[in-house]
Amino acid sequence: MLSLVSLFLVGCTNEQTVEISDMSNDEEERAEIEAMIKDTEEVQTGTTILVEDDVLIAIQVKPWLGFKERKIEAKLQKEIEEKYPDLNVLVSSDYKMLWESQKLLEEEDEKKVSDEVKKLKDLAKEET
Amino acid sequence: MVILFASKPSILACGAVAGPVESKSVFHSFFDAVAEDERWGQKTNEQGHSKMIQEACDIVMKKADLKNLDVDYFLSGDLVNQMTPTNFAARELAISFIGLFSACATSVSSVIIASLLTELGASQYAIAGAASQHNAIERQFRYPLDYGAQKPATAQWTVTAAGYALIGKHDPKLPSVVAATVGKVIDYGEVSPFHMGGAMAPAAYDTITSHLKKRHQKITDYDLIMTGDLGKIGLKILKAMFAQTDAEQKELEIFRDAGAEFYGEDQAFQAGASGAGCSASVFFSYIEQQLKTGRYKRVLLVATGALLSPMSFQQGESIPCTAHAIEITME
Amino acid sequence: MIVFYSFLIAFIVGGLICVIGQLIMDVGKLTPGHTLVILVVAGAILDGLGLYEPLVDFAGAGATVPITSFGNSLTHGALAEAEKHGWVGVLTGMFEVTSSGISAAIVFGFIAALIFKPKGKAN
Amino acid sequence: MDPQEYQQIEQQNTPPTPYLKNALKAFLVGGIICAIGQAITFLYIIFFDFTDKTAGNATVATMVFISMVLTGLGLYRKLGAFAGAGSAVPVTGFGNAVVSAAIEGKTEGLVLGVGGNMFKLAGSVILFGVGSAFFIALIKLILVSMGVVEW
C-alpha cells in the first residue's frame, strides 16, 4: 500500500519517473533498458523488474495519450525484444503491473521476486 | 346532444377516500378518510384498490343510513385491466352492478347513467362514482414504480382516491343534476402518455361548448366550470382555447381544474394530479360541500378521460380522449 | 498523479456518453428503452471498427461503466472467437468477455423481488 | 378549432424541455457514477488479482448490486427523476431496469410475475446488443476472408 500512497504524492509535472530494480545486477543491461524507456517520451512513469531472464516493464503513458497506450506498449516491447532476444520480456500499461512491480522494487529475496513476476505475467494473459 | 333531467335527481350523500400520499392534497380536509397504507393492508395494489372502493361506498351508505340491499344500482369503473378492482368491490357490495369505462371521466358518466335510471323511476337509490390507485395504474400504463424514469414537466401524478355519490329522487335542499352532455371522442394527435393535459383539453373544450350551445347558456351563467384532471398545463391550454374564441378574462376565471389544484404547488407532482379518483374525490366531497354551503349555485362538472391502452401507445396510436359534463344546481 | 487523471477522464467521458443519451431522449423524443438500444448498438459498431478498445484504455471506467461497453464486450468476444474458429466462433464467442452484467442483473433482480416491495411515494 | 390550430395553442402553452439543464444534470450524475466505477475498479485491482481488462467485469457486477439496493429502497427512482440519462445510461441503469421490473412482478408470482416481467425493459438492450454484435462480427469475418481487412 505504501507505494500507492507515493503515487499520489508525485507531482503532476510531466517529467518521467522511471525506476529499475536489477536482481542480476547486469549494470550495462540495466542502463540500456532505462535509456530505452526514457526515449519514449509518451511514458509518464515506468517500473522495471529484472530478475533471472525475466523482464517486467510496467509503464503508464501520459494521461491524455491513453488512446495510443497499446501502440506504445507494443513498440517498446518490440524494441527491447530485438535488443535482448534471450530475455523474456513483457511490457504492460496495466495498473496492476505498475503497482505490484513497485512493491517488488523493495523486495530483496530474488526467488520471491521471480515467482511474483511469473505470476504477474500469467495474470496479464488472462482475458476475462 | 344534451340530456335534460326534468325530475332533477339529487345527490343525497357523498363519500371520498384517499391514500397516504393524498394527505398532501389541498382538499384532504374534505375527504371522509385518508388511509396510512397505499394498499389498505392488502397483499397487492389491486386488492388495495378494491378495498378503497368498498370503503368509499360503505361511507356513502352509512351517511344515507342505507344497507346495500336498499341500493338499486352500483355504477362505477376504474383504469385497471377489465376494471377488476371495481368488479371485486361489486362482488363484496352485492348490489346490481354495471361496469363503465370512460377512463378518468367515469366519475361523471356514472352519475349520468344513475340520473337517467332515477329519472326513469327504475332506481330509487344508485351509487355512482369512480376510483384510481397510483401503483396499480402507473405500472400498467407507464413504468414499474422503482424504475428511474425522468418525467417531463407535463407529467401528472395518478391519485390514489375514490369518490362516490348516492343519486336519488329530487330533494330541494340538496344539489341536483339538471342536465348532462355525453362527450364525443376527440383526438388531435397527442401521442405522449406523459402529456395527458394536452391530449384531453380538446375533448373538454368540445363538450363544454356543445353543452353551452345546446343549453343556450353563456360561461357566466355558471359560478364554476371545473374539469376533472387536465392538470396545470391542460387547464392553461383549455383557457387559451376559449381565449382564442374571444372569451373575456372574467369568463376565464370561472374555469378551474381538480387535477391542477389537487396537490397545490408541490413540485414533486409536476403538472398536478390525474386519474379517475382525482375528479371523483374532489367532485364528491369538496364541490358537494361548496354547493351545500351555498357558495356555488350552478356548477358544470366536466370529467376528462384519455382512452388509450398500453397496447395502443406501443402501436404508435395517438391518444383519443373524451369528456362528460353534468350541470348541478342548488336552489 | 496518474490516478487523479484517470478519475477526471472517467468522469468526463462517462458524463459525455450520458449527455449523448440525454440528447437522444430529449431532442430525439425517444423513450429510455430506445436510447439504451441505440447506445448498445453504437458500442458494438465502435468495437467493430476497433475504436472502443482505445477508448477503454483512455477513459477506463468512463468507457466500461456506460451501457455502450455491453455492446463492445459482446462484439469483442464474437470477433475474438471468430478469428480463432471462423463462422461458429461468432456465436460461441458472444458472451466470452462479458457475462457479469447480465448474470448479476438476473441474480440481484431475483433477490430484490424476494426482499423488496414496490412503493408509490412521490418524493 | 381544427387540429393544426390546436397544435399551435398547445405548443405555446406547453413548457419547453430544458435541454441544457437536463444535459448538465445527466453529465454530472453520469460522470459521478463512472468515477465511482473507476474507484471500484481500482479497489479490485489493488486488493484482488484483477488487471485492467478483467476488473471491468467485477466492477459491472458490483455496480449492478449497488443499483439493486438503491432500487429496492426506492432511491434510484429519485436519482432517475433528477438525472434522466445520467442514471439510465450507466450499467446501474440497466440493473435498475431489471430489478424494478422484477420487484414489480412479485405480486403475480415468482414464475409468471418476476420471471415473465423481469426483462420487460432491459430485454431489448440484450437483444439488440447480441444482434448487432453478431452481424458486425459476421461482416468483419466476411471482409477478412475477402482480404479487404485483417484482424
Of A105 and B273, the structure prediction assigns the larger pLDDT to B273
**Domain ranges across chain B:** 2-168, 176-329
* Chain-chain contact of B146 with D74 (C-beta, under 8 angstroms): yes
- pLDDT, tens digit, 9 for 90 and up, residues C4-46: 888 999 999 999 999 999 999 999 989 999 999 999 999 999 9
Residue D12 lies in a domain: no
pLDDT at D150: 80
Check: CB of residue B260 under 8 Å from CB of residue B157. no
Same domain for D34 and D104, yes or no, is yes
Report d(CA C59, CA D26) in Å as an integer: 18
Instruction: Please say whether the beta carbons of B118 and B168 come within 8 A.
Output: yes
- For chain A, the average pLDDT equals 79
Q: Does residue D85 belong to any structural domain of this protein?
A: yes
Give a three-class secondary structure readout of chain A.
Answer: CHHHHHHHHCCCCCCCEEEEEECCCCHHHHHHHHHHHHHCCCEEEEEEEEECCEEEEEEEECHHHHHHHHHHHHHHHHHHHHHCCCCEEEEECCHHHHHHHHHHHCCCCHHHHHHHHHHHHHHHHCCC
Residues D62 and D132 in one domain: no
Can you give the pLDDT at residue A10? 44
Give the A:D interface size as CB pairs under 8 Å.
Answer: 28
Disruptive mutation site among D41, D42, D45, D57 for chain A (greatest number of A CBs within 10 Å): D45
The predicted pLDDT at position A128 comes to 60
CA A32 – CA D78 distance, rounded (Å): 58
Domain range for C35 is 2-115
- Span B253-258, average pLDDT: 94
- Grid coordinates representing C30 are 425517444
Mean pLDDT of chain B: 94
How far apart CA B77 and CA B50 sit, in angstroms, is 11
Q: Which residue has the cell 418476476?
A: D114
How sure is the predictor about A121, in pLDDT bands with cuts at 50, 70 and 90?
confident
What is the chain C residue with the closest CA to A61?
C2
The reported pLDDT for the residue numbered A25 is 65
pLDDT at position A24: 66
Alpha-carbon distance of A29 to A21, in angstroms, equals: 12
**Which residues of C, range 6-25, sit inside 8 Å of D by Cβ?**
6-7, 10-19, 21-25
* Grid cell locating C10: 472517467
| Cα(C60)–Cα(C73) distance, integer angstroms | 14
What SS3 state is found at B307?
Answer: coil
For residue A30, pLDDT over 90 is answered with no
Cα B225 to Cα B106, B252, D149, distances in angstroms: 18, 10, 72
Q: Which residue of C has its CA nearest to A127?
A: C97
Q: Does A11 touch chain C (CB under 8 A)?
A: yes
- Whether C65 sits inside 8 A of D59 (CB atoms) is yes
**CATH class, range B2-168:** alpha beta
Q: Please report the pLDDT score of residue B30 as a whole number.
A: 94
| Structural domain range at position D106 | 17-120
pLDDT computed for residue C41 by the predictor = 96
Q: pLDDT tens digits for B52-75?
A: 999 999 999 999 999 989 999 999
Q: Give the residue-averaged pLDDT of A72-85.
A: 87
Contacts of A44 in chain C (CB under 8 A): 1-2
In A, which residues are within 8 Å of C3 by CB distance? 7-8
> What's the confidence (pLDDT) of residue A79?
87
Å between C118 CA and nearest CA of chain A: 36
A61-75, B132-146, B256-270, B315-329: the lowest-pLDDT one: A61-75
| Interchain pair D68, C118: CB under 8 A | no
Average pLDDT over every residue of B26-49: 93
Q: Which residues of D touch B143 (CB under 8 A)?
A: 100, 121
Query: Measured between beta carbons, which residues in chain C are less than 8 angstroms from residue D151?
Result: 79, 83
Number of structural domains (chain D) is 2
Confidence of residue C1 (pLDDT cuts 50, 70, 90): low
The whole-angstrom distance between A28's CA and the closest CA on chain C is 30
Let me know: does B146 contact D71? Beta carbons within 8 Å: yes
More confident call, A16 vs B168: B168
Helices (H) and strands (E) in chain B, counts: 11, 14
Higher pLDDT, A127 or D25: D25
**What mean pLDDT is predicted for residues C105-116?**
93
Burial of B293 (0-12, 13-18, 19+ CB in 10 A): exposed
Q: How many domains does chain C have?
A: 1
Among D9, D10, D88, whose Cβ lies nearest the Cβ of B148?
D88
Domains B2-168 and B176-329 share a fold: yes
Closest CA to B162 of B80, B91, B64: B80
One domain for residues D116 and D127 = no
pLDDT given at position C23: 95
Compare CB distances from C121 to B21, B139, B144 and report the shortest one's residue: B21
In the predicted model, is pLDDT for residue A99 greater than 90? no
Q: What superfamily would CATH give domain A16-125?
A: Cation efflux protein, cytoplasmic domain (3.30.70.1350)
Say yes or no: D72 and D143 in one domain: no
Q: Is residue D71 part of a domain?
A: yes
Judged on CB neighbours under 10 Å (0-12, 13-18, 19+), B314 is exposed
Tens-digit pLDDT profile for residues B88-131: 999 999 999 999 999 999 999 999 999 999 999 999 999 999 99
Indicate whether A36 pLDDT > 90: no
pLDDT at A26 over 80: no
Among A4-13, B222-231, B287-296, which stretch is predicted with the lowest mean pLDDT?
A4-13
In whole angstroms, what is the distance from residue B26 CA to residue B8 CA? 31
Task: Select the CATH number that applies to the domain covering B176-329 from these four: 3.40.47.40, 3.40.1360.10, 1.20.1090.10, 2.40.160.20.
Answer: 3.40.47.40
Residues 6+ apart with CB under 8 A from C6: A63, C60, D38
Q: Do B147 and D87 touch (CB under 8 A)?
A: no
C122 interfacial to chain A (CB closer than 8 Å): no
pLDDT higher than 80, residue A8: no
**D25 and D85, same structural domain?**
yes
What is the nearest CA distance from A84 to chain D, expressed in angstroms?
A: 26
Tell me whether residue D6 is in a domain. Answer: no
- Asked whether residue D135 falls in the same domain as residue D93, the answer is no
- Using an 8 Å CB-CB cutoff, list chain D residues near C17: 30, 89
Enter the ipTM. Answer: 0.88
Residue C122 pLDDT more than 60?
Answer: no
Instruction: Give the per-residue pLDDT at D9.
Output: 92
